[in-house]
Amino acid sequence: EREIVIKLSFTHKEHKALEDYQKEKWCIEKSLEKGVLGPTVLTLGRAYGRAYMIESFVPGINGKKAKDTLIIYRVLGKYVKRIHSITASGFGETLKDSKRGIFKDSWKKYLDYNIKSLTDGDSLIAMKVITKEQSRNIKKIFQNLKRQKFTFGLNHGDISLSNTLVDKSGKIALLDWGCAEIHIVPHFELMYLLRLQMETGRPTTAELKAFLEGYGMSQRKFVALRVEIL
């Protein structure tokens, strides 16, 4: 006797759809505990050969149609700060242990894999995607990253107006945790926003500033991090 949302994966993602929904459920529940508004997961499972997830319906207009987007980005900044405080460990997109918040992969394995792959015999060089010199420079970057110390945490991975809903009272809900992963914070989320800005023009300079205000990051700190991100 109420509206619900039923999520079904694309056919080519069906092989890991249930695993992804389990991760989304964990992320939604943990973020709700931190005060990040959004849907609640009613149930998930598999039926007739398809994985599914059923969520509560969240009323509101899509953030892309909202008049005051600065407010939305300011709230998103607050949300992201809270998301980064969720206790989790590991690396990557695959949730291994939902009870302890452990994700499957590791930062060290990620770096080692890329360093090992960047050789003069790399297929990317043969396809002329990169040159040997570029490959060697990229390899040095990965080797330098092994010596750096970073903070890791949960990232939503797709912070944008299209993943928000604004209800009549002005409350803002955050949707779609399919791209969530453990990565460097706050770098990973900021990197996504900057890439989105270059590709689409959003967030605008003013919207990005509002996001940083909500996150509690000074412009000076952001400029310093931007050098590391880019």
10: left (phi over 0), alpha (psi -120 to 50) or beta: beta
pLDDT value, residue 28 = 98
pLDDT value, residue 228 = 85
Phi, then psi, of 38 in degrees rounded to 5: 175, -170
Q: What percent of the chain has pLDDT over 70?
A: 100
Phi, then psi, of 158 in degrees rounded to 5: -150, 50
Contact in structure between 111 and 91 (CB atoms under 8 Å):
no
The structure tokens 């980064």 sit at 84
Other Cβ atoms less than 10 A from the Cβ of 13: the count is 11
pLDDT digits (tens, 9 = 90+) for 97-149: 999 999 999 999 999 999 999 999 999 999 999 999 999 999 999 999 999 99
pLDDT value, residue 168 = 95
Q: Give the C-alpha separation, 72 to 208, whole Å.
A: 11
Q: Give the C-alpha separation, 37 to 59, whole Å.
A: 12
Predicted structure pTM score: 0.94
